[in-house]
Amino acid sequence: MFEDLSGKSALVTGASGGLGLHFARLLARHGVDVTLAARRQSALDQAGAEIAALGGTAEHLVLDVTDAASVAETLAGRHFDILINNAGISGAGPAAGLSEADWDAVLDTNLKGVFLVAQAVARGMRESGRGGAIVNIASILGHRVAGGVSAYAASKAGVIQLTKALALEWARDGIRVNALCPGYIETDINRDFFATEAGLNLIRRIPQRRLGQPDELDGALLLLASAAGSYITGATIEVDGGHLVSSL
């Protein structure tokens, strides 16, 4: 079903670990030439070696998505068929005490960064004449709220609305723009938290009563990135064990 992905090229941001590296591995397994982008060269080297071990090729780019000059310079003249706009930070903390710097860091990474990278990659998609598929990684916190995540929730709501706006403007260029909204997915950075009492309480509020695993995002990601989703643009897909429909 996803055979058309073979031979395509993809840029994955925030690809040195977590879900970004997972998505990069997934695409590489489907024959995609993956370019990994993240801030640290050492982490990229390790991630690239993992992709190579799968038999794939993975170029790496050191890229800070918050830095417009770095994004424009690094991505100029490059052509990708697929963009997985994944880089993001959480920046939790009660709104009353949230510093301007913390607010800016979250919004700059999660919202401005998604815009800057989408804009630069779309330019190449237009130049190639082939169009492409952009998948923005948002969150169910772009739809609903929780305590202590005001900046994050606002940034992800912005990503969802930005996704729709870009889909509208870029459809004529053959560029599809969609958002994937994961619920709570178990990764290295949150595993310890979800084993605590507070974490277990959160899990009890998910209708399926468990965390998601990274590979449970694969179907939605491949659908949005491939020709299987050729008539899908401006959409959001929630993969959350029913969390968004939990009882009020």
CA-wise closest residue to 19 among 72, 90, 75: 90
DSSP tally for the chain: helices H, then strands E: 9, 7
CA angle 3, 16, 112 (to 5 degrees): 90
The answer to whether 157 contacts ligand NAD (rule: CB under 6 A) is no
* Closer CB to ligand NAD, 53 or 189, in the complex: 189
Maximal CA-CA distance, the chain: 53
Candidate residues 19, 44, 75, 237; the one interacting with ligand NAD per rule CB under 6 A: 19
Task: Write the CB contacts of 18 (distance below 8 Å, at least 6 apart in sequence).
Answer: 187, 188, 189
CA–CA separation, 27 and 85 (whole Å): 14
* Closer CB to ligand NAD, 127 or 181, in the complex: 181
Candidate residues 126, 187, 206, 232; the one interacting with ligand NAD per rule CB under 6 A: 187
* Closer CB to ligand NAD, 68 or 227, in the complex: 68
Catalytic residue among 23, 115, 152, 184: 152
CA–CA separation, 125 and 89 (whole Å): 27
Binding mask 34-73 for ligand NAD (x = CB under 6 A): ----xx-----------------------xxxx-------
Residue with tokens 């939990």: 246
Residue 112 identity: K
Q: Which stretch binds ligand NAD (CB under 6 A): 82-90, 165-173, 191-199, 223-231?
A: 82-90
CB-CB contact of 148 with 106 (8 Å): no
The answer to whether 109 contacts ligand NAD (rule: CB under 6 A) is yes
CB of 76 to ligand NAD, least distance (A): 17
* Closer CB to ligand NAD, 89 or 228, in the complex: 89
Contacting positions for ligand NAD (CB under 6 A): 13-14, 16-20, 38-39, 63-66, 86-89, 109, 113, 137, 139, 182, 184-185, 187, 189
Catalytic residues: 152
